[in-house]
Structure 1
Amino acid sequence: MIVLGGTFVLDLAVAVQAFGRRPSVFSKIRHEPEAPYEVGVCGDAPTPTSLGFTIADLKPIDWAAGADTVVVPGLEAPWAPQNPAVLAAVARAAQDGARLVSLCAGAFVLGQAGVLDGRRVTTHWALADEFRAAFPRAHLLEHALYVDDGQILSSGGMLASADLCLHVLRHDHGQSYANDVSRVLISPPHRTGGQGQYAKAAPRPASGPLAPVLDWLTEHLAEPLTLQRAAAQAHMSPRTLERRFRAETGDSLAGWIARRRVERARVLLEDSELTVTQVAHAAGFGSTEALRRHFLTHTGTTPRAYRDTFRGVAGPTADRNTEHAERSRRMPW
């Protein structure tokens, strides 16, 4: 594992916990107390982390030579140029056939090392634009929780590191072993969906010649919106509006409206008591099937699953579930 300046402590901790020394509670579920890997944390000591404290007990970077797997956690400023010695070590490991694992923004380090050309990769969804600009020859899957592209494996933002680490354990030591590590981490062995359900666009005021039309469309999302109606509002022909719309927004009118409606549906699913059917109509989709189809396309999950994830379980219900579990534990059968 390579630690750089500004390394995300959570990424590093998840990887060390997944691959390093087993905690004492592991012996309660599996009689394999020894870690299945020899782990070394490398870097220039002392190295400041993202939380301000430094890590001093580090092996030299050349310790990574000959490693079967090299893990690069995310870091605070991934676009900053990295130490050439570190990049050379990563590139050399790739040439030697080592498996390279990037966590969160650690993909930027692999990119700077020149090992991502033509590769499928992911990183934190909020860094997608910066990553594409820096490494246009890589094939970014920004909404994936993690990507296994053979020699190169990468995960999305922060806690997706656990998903990828469990995937590596599953590949190396089987599903049962990965499941038992997940039980210690209290993390699902595999999560459905992707980063799309967590991505959130920062609100930006409309600008440019079409700003009045964009504002009008946003105010009338719940109504039927056609190209002809929008063109009349813009005092343009439908063909002219479609051409100018794509030039200004990078999207078709229908695609832009669908994205905004999904964003509105997400807000309503998180903050309102409306049913999914009511959300579909309030967001302008007209039917639950249309909402589900577009929602799945843009977020990778369903409206109901999204609501369960982002609203959680109410306190009384959680208390009842805990009480039920405790009562079941006491039952003689």
Structure 2
Amino acid sequence: MNPSIFICYPRALLTSVSLPMEMIAAATSIARIKRLPNRQWSCHVVSALNTAEQTIQFANGLNVLPSFNLDSAPQAHTIFIPPIWGKPDAVVEGSPKLIEWIIQQHELGAQICATGTGVCLLAHAGLLDEKVATTHWYYFNEFEKKYPKVSLQKHHFITQAGQLFCCGSINALVDLTLYFIENYFGKEVSQVIEQHFSHEINRTYDKPWYSTGASRHPDEGIIEVQQWMQSHYSQNFNLKALAEMANMSVRNFSRRFKAAVGKSALAYGMDLKVQMARDLLKTTNLSLQDIADQVGIKDTAYFSRQFKLKNKITPGEYRKMVRGKLFNT
């Protein structure tokens, strides 16, 4: 079981609750059809008010009747905190019980994901002091003034600090939800969800966020090689050359890279090439041969096989799906 709680309070944005819940429900259904063992993910709507019998009016005026309140809520693996429409002060400063509950859940090891101004609740609780975070761009200046101890990342839509995740927008929350789905159900299920819920396939969801090095992997030598590979994706990656760059033996480099990143250096390099190919298919009229050349793959047939292997659709099918009628191909 992988139970999740969606906190709700007045003036919260309903989409930040309904959309992830629909994605998770769809993923659970697909996992059941595929007969994946022990893969159930339940979602519960929990009121931040004193009683679960009281309806919550969301920002769009719709009323929702939660199943639980903070006292009766089941223990959750993941807690989702929605953004607050307008100035968040009234909700943040008027919810001491919710703040205390969030702190308790964090101490119990729950994974907490806050979106937009909902991040203010984590900051107000002191959980983000000396940690990375992000919020909606409109509130950057006010957030910095109110929470100077937080390391605000203005150029990142998603951040991670241990078990705390922050999303700058609902679109970023969709990306993070896809990551959670892939991590729990596997890549095959997440790709189906992505194709149904997102008109444009964005990227692989191995690491869709910014985080401090210690929260992902602390191997600075490997990080430097990753950064070089990201800016030289068009080159033909050679394991021996990459190992020399890191001043390691091939064997030691291969072991450390896989331990840090979760895949081999050459597999990581191919992911970078395919990611760039997706961008080119979406935004240019270049032929498949030209795109393959630009990402450093000379054999178009091999490029197409690798693309389909990672995306479950051909480059041509991907281009049609994401571009619609924006370009004449």
| Coarse TM-score class (shorter-chain normalised) | 0.5 to 0.7
Give distance in 1, aligned partners of 2:142 and 2:37. 42
Q: Which of 134, 137, 157 is equivalent to 1:122?
A: 134
Residue type at the aligned position of 2:58: T
Give distance in 2, aligned partners of 1:316 and 1:89. 48
Partner of 1:50: 59
Unmatched tracts of structure 2, length 5 or more: 1-5, 210-321
Structure 2 vs 1, CA of residues 3 and 314 (structure 1 numbering), >3 Å: closer, same or farther? closer
Residue 22 (structure 1) shift? 4.9
Give distance in 2, aligned partners of 1:63 and 1:97. 18
RMSD: 3.2
Encode CA deviations 1:24-70: one digit per residue, 9 max, x unaligned: 7x489855699732211100331110101211233112344632211
Q: Which of 69, 88, 112 is equivalent to 1:78?
A: 88
Give distance in 2, aligned partners of 1:31 and 1:189. 27
Partner of 1:39: 43
Encode CA deviations 1:263-311: one digit per residue, 9 max, x unaligned: xxxxxxxxxxxxxxxxxxxxxxxxxxxxxxxxxxxxxxxxxxxxxxxxx
Aligned residues of 1:20 and 1:35 also touching (Cα < 8 A): no
Residue 103 (structure 1) shift? 1.8
Residue 128 (structure 1) shift? 0.9
Unmatched tracts of structure 1, length 5 or more: 196-311, 322-333
Aligned residues of 2:24 and 2:41 also touching (Cα < 8 A): yes
Aligned residues of 2:27 and 2:189 also touching (Cα < 8 A): no
Equivalent residue of 1:147, what SS? strand
**2:91 maps to 1:109:** no
Give distance in 2, aligned partners of 1:184 and 1:23. 14
Aligned residues of 2:31 and 2:185 also touching (Cα < 8 A): no
**2:149 maps to 1:144:** no
Residue type at the aligned position of 1:12: V
Residue 191 (structure 1) shift? 7.8
Number of aligned pairs?
201
Structure 2 vs 1, CA of residues 78 and 35 (structure 1 numbering), >3 Å: closer, same or farther? farther
Q: Which of 10, 19, 24 is equivalent to 2:24?
A: 19
Aligned residues of 2:13 and 2:83 also touching (Cα < 8 A): yes
Q: Which of 178, 189, 192 is equivalent to 1:180?
A: 192
Residue type at the aligned position of 1:184: H
Aligned residues of 1:21 and 1:34 also touching (Cα < 8 A): no
Give distance in 2, aligned partners of 1:182 and 1:316. 21
Written as runs of structure 1 = structure 2, the 5 A alignment for 1:314-333 is 315=325, 317=327
Equivalent residue of 1:57, what SS? coil
Residue 315 (structure 1) shift? 4.3
Encode CA deviations 1:185-223: one digit per residue, 9 max, x unaligned: 13525389x99xxxxxxxxxxxxxxxxxxxxxxxxxxxx
Aligned residues of 1:8 and 1:74 also touching (Cα < 8 A): yes
Give distance in 1, aligned partners of 2:45 and 2:82. 11
Structure 2 vs 1, CA of residues 36 and 149 (structure 1 numbering), >3 Å: closer, same or farther? farther
Residue type at the aligned position of 1:71: F
TM-score normalized with structure 1 length: 0.53
Residue type at the aligned position of 2:15: L
Residue 15 (structure 1) shift? 1.9
Equivalent residue of 1:40, what SS? strand
Structure 2 vs 1, CA of residues 36 and 315 (structure 1 numbering), >3 Å: closer, same or farther? same
Equivalent residue of 2:71, what SS? helix
TM-score normalized with structure 2 length: 0.54
Give distance in 2, aligned partners of 1:54 and 1:33. 36
Give distance in 1, aligned partners of 2:326 and 2:74. 54
Give distance in 2, aligned partners of 1:2 and 1:15. 13
Equivalent residue of 1:52, what SS? coil
Residue type at the aligned position of 1:47: I
Of the structure 1 ranges 54-63 and 160-169, higher mean CA displacement relative to structure 2 is found in 54-63
Identity %: 19
Aligned residues of 1:103 and 1:161 also touching (Cα < 8 A): yes
Aligned residues of 2:82 and 2:116 also touching (Cα < 8 A): yes
Give distance in 2, aligned partners of 1:314 and 1:18. 23
Q: Is the radius of gyration larger for structure 1 or structure 2?
A: 1
